[in-house]
């Protein structure tokens, strides 16, 4: 992003804020965005879809005292700005007062230059080059094993976005970002049975993507490994969540400590601040300023400066995840998390995947989860699962059509080990996670 492009976005924010002031808003905040993207999907070597996107627009929230109105548009012409601001103000006039509404406090805005997060790495990728990459990835997957019988397609993606935020406290900041990826999904067949699996790579920097052939081979090997899957008898056993699905468990934890669920009294971790929620050896950190990371941000959706912090320290819940609004509802201070978390990292026990299997001993390795059987109010957890049965620390056979069940409160406290096999891309980075004593229901 050039300095001229950055200045242009920030100038637009300033103009919109000035219009809001002229029309009578007591306070306002504006987010202006622009995005461009390319996605090419091939199947069986032929181009199936080509998508080229280009979006822009802005959203504004205005305040009349403690009354709030919001509006958005994809048109940034002067007339559209005037009309959109007027609509937001009209909504505010008919909205009930909310004591928690309003901008975040001015002293929480970033001061001085924003941290350099190195998030913008455009990829000079045209349709032909994107097609060639997807074809190479799919070909490697189909060639991985003679039992690979079909493909669900391979996709190359590349996007770049520009976002600027400002409010009537005087803060205006902008952050450009890129995201690139390559994925493939294939089907393996044997004796009338079929299994599918996939693989992907994603990064902000195109040169950091895994090679297309490696991604394809991994997808093919994963699909073949699932052939012959069968249920297992119902039992209470340890369950090892592979790193691909373990991050989802942390996602449930973040939801439970997020302000919206807390002030609505709809979380199984109500009033848990300062209490033991994980084993003592577990620490969970948020690291918003990691260079090139997918979740990095200098400020949150309220314009509040982000900062590194520990959400869990020595197993104890040390911080909620709050926006300015939810913090006021809870009579607490914002944690700079309007819009979500930024780069979550969990401590590990220094065990690689093979060591985690050995520690599991006998039980279930989960590599895929299905269904939405998670109750955020009670913590009850019941989901369909697929993966592998493990005996004596080694994979015995693939498993399908089973359900794993427990309660998230107990599951977090009963984490026996966390592996060091985390994969970097993603906002939540977590290695494989071994949970002691879950119910596996099968045949």
Are 61 and 137 members of one domain? yes
What is the token pair recorded at 62? 């205005």
Are 398 and 358 members of one domain? yes
State pLDDT tens for residues 333-384: 999 999 999 999 999 999 999 999 999 999 999 999 998 899 999 999 999 9
Q: Please, is 17 exposed, middle or buried when counting C-beta atoms within 10 Å of its C-beta (0-12, 13-18, 19+)?
A: buried
Q: What is the mean pLDDT of residues 1-25?
A: 89
Per the domain annotation, does 230 fall within a domain? no
State pLDDT tens for residues 273-300: 999 999 999 999 999 999 999 999 999 9
Are 244 and 197 members of one domain? no
Q: What is the mean pLDDT of residues 316-343?
A: 97
Last residue of some domain: 175, 203, 225?
225
Per the domain annotation, does 127 fall within a domain? yes
- Count of structural domains within the chain: 2
Per the domain annotation, does 21 fall within a domain? yes
Are 428 and 295 members of one domain? yes
Q: What is the CATH number of the domain that holds 122?
A: 3.30.2290.10
Q: What is the mean pLDDT of residues 106-120?
A: 94
> Could you tell me the pLDDT band of residue 434, with boundaries at 50, 70 and 90?
very high
Question: CA-based diameter of the chain, in Å?
Answer: 73
> Could you tell me the pLDDT band of residue 4, with boundaries at 50, 70 and 90?
confident
Q: Which helix (H) or strand (E) holds 412?
A: helix 408-413
Does residue 238 surpass a pLDDT of 90?
Answer: yes
Are 25 and 156 members of one domain? yes
Are 221 and 252 members of one domain? no
State the Cα–Cα distance between residues 425 and 180, nearest whole angstrom. Answer: 11
Does residue 116 surpass a pLDDT of 60?
Answer: yes
Residues near 94 by Cβ (< 8 Å), separated by ≥ 6?
A: none
State pLDDT tens for residues 61-92: 999 999 999 999 999 999 999 999 999 999 99
State the Cα–Cα distance between residues 443 and 441, nearest whole angstrom. Answer: 7
State the Cα–Cα distance between residues 302 and 338, nearest whole angstrom. Answer: 6
Percent of the chain with pLDDT over 90: 94
State pLDDT tens for residues 146-184: 999 999 999 999 999 999 999 999 999 999 999 999 999
Are 259 and 122 members of one domain? no
pLDDT for the residue 334: 98
Are 387 and 260 members of one domain? yes
Are 139 and 282 members of one domain? no
Are 281 and 348 members of one domain? yes
State pLDDT tens for residues 389-433: 999 999 999 999 999 999 999 999 999 999 999 987 789 999 999
Are 187 and 260 members of one domain? no
The pTM (predicted TM-score) of the whole model is 0.94
Residues near 292 by Cβ (< 8 Å), separated by ≥ 6?
A: 117, 118, 119, 121, 203, 204, 205, 208
State the Cα–Cα distance between residues 167 and 16, nearest whole angstrom. Answer: 10
Last residue of some domain: 168, 192, 225?
225
Per the domain annotation, does 248 fall within a domain? yes
> Could you tell me the pLDDT band of residue 2, with boundaries at 50, 70 and 90?
low
Does residue 195 surpass a pLDDT of 90?
Answer: yes
Q: What is the mean pLDDT of residues 314-326?
A: 98
Per the domain annotation, does 246 fall within a domain? yes
Does residue 1 surpass a pLDDT of 60?
Answer: no
Does residue 202 surpass a pLDDT of 80?
Answer: yes
State the Cα–Cα distance between residues 75 and 58, nearest whole angstrom. Answer: 8
pLDDT for the residue 192: 77
First to last CA, the chain: 56
State pLDDT tens for residues 211-224: 999 999 999 999 99
Last residue of some domain: 177, 194, 225?
225
Percent of the chain with pLDDT over 70: 99
Per the domain annotation, does 147 fall within a domain? yes
> Could you tell me the pLDDT band of residue 190, with boundaries at 50, 70 and 90?
confident
> Could you tell me the pLDDT band of residue 443, with boundaries at 50, 70 and 90?
low
Residue of 349, 356, 377 whose CA lies nearest to 279: 349
Residue of 291, 265, 80, 254 whose CA lies nearest to 177: 291
Task: Give the range of the structural domain holding residue 193, as residue numbers without chain letter.
Answer: 3-225
The three-point CA angle 429-432-434 to 5° equals: 130
Are 277 and 178 members of one domain? no
Per the domain annotation, does 359 fall within a domain? yes
State pLDDT tens for residues 225-234: 999 999 999 9
């Amino acid at each position: 992003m050039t300095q001229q492009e950055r200045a242009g976005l920030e100038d637009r924010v300033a103009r919109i804020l000035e219009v809001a002031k002229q029309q009578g808003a007591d306070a306002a905040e504006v987010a202006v965005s622009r995005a461009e993207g390319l996605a090419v999907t091939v199947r069986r070597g032929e181009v199936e879809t080509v998508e080229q996107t280009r979006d822009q627009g802005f959203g504004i929230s205005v305040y009349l005292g403690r009354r709030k109105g919001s509006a958005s548009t994809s048109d940034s012409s002067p007339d559209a700005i005037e009309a959109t601001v007027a609509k937001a103000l009209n909504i505010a006039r008919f909205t009930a007062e909310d004591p928690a509404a309003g901008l975040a406090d001015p002293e929480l805005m970033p001061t001085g230059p924003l941290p350099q997060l190195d998030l913008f790495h455009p990829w000079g990728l045209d349709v032909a080059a994107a097609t060639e990459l997807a074809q190479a990835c799919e070909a490697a997957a189909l060639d991985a094993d003679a039992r690979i019988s079909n493909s669900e397609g391979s996709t190359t993606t590349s996007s770049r976005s520009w976002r600027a935020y400002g409010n009537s406290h005087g803060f205006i900041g902008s952050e450009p970002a890129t995201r690139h990826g390559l994925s493939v999904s294939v089907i393996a067949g044997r004796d009338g049975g079929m299994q599918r699996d996939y693989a992907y790579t994603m990064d902000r920097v195109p040169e950091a993507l895994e090679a297309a052939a490696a991604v394809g081979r991994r997808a093919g090997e994963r699909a073949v490994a699932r052939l012959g899957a069968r249920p297992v008898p119902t039992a209470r056993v340890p369950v090892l969540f592979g790193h691909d699905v373990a991050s989802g468990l942390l996602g449930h934890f973040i939801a439970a400590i997020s302000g919206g669920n807390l002030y609505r009294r709809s979380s199984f971790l109500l009033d848990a601040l300062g209490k033991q929620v994980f084993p003592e050896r577990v620490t969970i950190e948020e690291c918003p300023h990691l260079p090139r990371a997918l979740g990095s941000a200098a400020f949150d959706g309220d314009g509040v400066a982000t900062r590194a912090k520990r959400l869990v320290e020595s197993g104890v819940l040390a911080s909620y995840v709050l926006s300015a609004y939810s913090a006021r509802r809870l009579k607490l201070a914002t944690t700079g998390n309007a819009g979500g978390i930024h780069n979550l990292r969990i401590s590990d026990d220094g065990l690689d995947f093979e060591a985690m299997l050995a520690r599991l001993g006998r039980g279930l390795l989960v590599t895929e989860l299905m269904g939405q059987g998670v109750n955020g109010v009670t913590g009850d957890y019941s989901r369909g699962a697929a993966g592998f049965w493990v005996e004596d620390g080694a994979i015995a056979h693939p498993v399908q059509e089973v359900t794993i069940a427990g309660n998230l409160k107990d599951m977090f406290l009963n984490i026996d080990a966390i592996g060091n096999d985390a994969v970097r891309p993603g906002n939540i980075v977590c290695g494989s996670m071994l949970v002691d004593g879950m119910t596996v229901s099968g045949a």
